[in-house]
Copies of this chain bind each other. A is one copy, B any other.
Amino acid sequence: MACYRSSSLSFFIVALLTVLISPAISAGDSSYINPPVNVGSRSSIASYCESWRLAVETNNAGTWNVTPSKCVSSINTYYIGGQFDSDYNLVARYALAFAGKVKNRLDGKDAWVFDIDETLLSNSEYYNKAHGSATYVSKKVQAQAFDASLKLYKGLKTLNFTIILLTGRNESRRSTTEKNLWDVGYSGWEHLLMRSPEDKGKTATQYKSEQRSKMVKKGYKLHGNTGDQWSDLLGFAVATRSFKVPNPLYYIA
């Protein structure tokens, strides 16, 4: 089943559901995979959770529903300890390094696609560093920019890339989305593509592929695409290079 991202999909809820509902590992296509033989010790749990996170980021895990309950703590550490920031920053730097080598035709058709939630904007202060606990930022609160994404975005603008924003958010949220983006430093995008009523029920992969395909038909060359979900990046009309920023908190088909 496809689930549609909204800013209400916070880690708090994910973690809570995880603890309440899921004693088992969530695996490919929601199937159950036997836990590793030696999960008793702290270190083997930590090792498993690191493997799980890698499996998610490489798309080896496929469809998954919830963070394994035994990994909630280690993912907390992943955020609080700075590894998430390190991972995120390096992806953005690889993206900018690639972009710097693209021969720009200066006709406005050299484009870069960005997802919004958990790519340009961080919807949740997933972990309150002062208290070490998950907190939820409601839709009414402005989402913050990822520093690394803002730097990448501005770098691409400087390199004369045309920016295409492609989000799973509905059209009804256009004005609040634009205001949020402007307020935190993003500006000058060419397109902000949002779900219209006719896109209802489509998986993110299908909807986003269709939108990218429309852009290609308009003559854009999609050099890069940055997203936190594989469904932002795969399908058809894919960009020359895809950059997957980390998100071990939830999965969207």
Q: Sort chain A's interface into a size bin.
A: 35 or more
A93 CA to B25 CA, complexed, in Å: 12
Interface membership of A101, Cβ < 8 A: yes
A14-34 contacts to B (CB < 8 Å) = 27-29, 31-34
For A181, what are the chain B residues with a Cβ–Cβ distance below 8 Å? Answer: none
Set B51, B97, B241: member contacting A87, Cβ < 8 A: B51
Contact B86 A55 (CB under 8 A): no
Q: Check if A48 sits within 8 Å of B93, measured CB to CB.
A: no
Shortest distance between the CB of A58 and any CB in chain B (Å): 5
A244 within 8 A of B: yes
A236 at interface, CB cutoff 8 A:
no
CA gap between A227 and B179 in the complex, in Å: 45
A47 at the interface (CB under 8 A from B): yes
Residue of B whose beta carbon sits closest to that of A91: B60
CB distance A58 to B57 under 8 Å?
Answer: yes
Contact of A98 among B28, B34, B48 (CB under 8 A): B28
Within the complex, which residue of B28, B31, B246 is in contact with A54, where a contact is CB–CB below 8 Å? B246
Count this chain's copies in the assembly: 2
Compute how far the CA of A175 lies from the CA of B133 in the bound complex, rounded to whole angstroms.
Answer: 59
A51 in contact with B90 (CB, 8 Å): yes
Q: A27-B97, A61-B94, A93-B33 are in contact. Are A86 and B51 (CB under 8 A)?
A: yes
Shortest distance in angstroms between A32's beta carbon and chain B's nearest beta carbon?
8
Chain A positions within 8 Å of B, measured between CB atoms, are 27-29, 31-34, 36, 47-48, 50-52, 54-55, 57-62, 82-83, 86-87, 89-91, 93-95, 97-98, 100-101, 241-244, 246
**24 cross-chain CB contacts under 8 A:** A27-B93, A27-B94, A28-B97, A28-B241, A29-B97, A31-B98, A34-B93, A36-B86, A36-B90, A47-B82, A50-B86, A50-B87, A51-B86, A54-B54, A54-B87, A55-B90, A58-B91, A58-B244, A59-B244, A60-B94, A60-B243, A62-B94, A62-B98, A62-B241
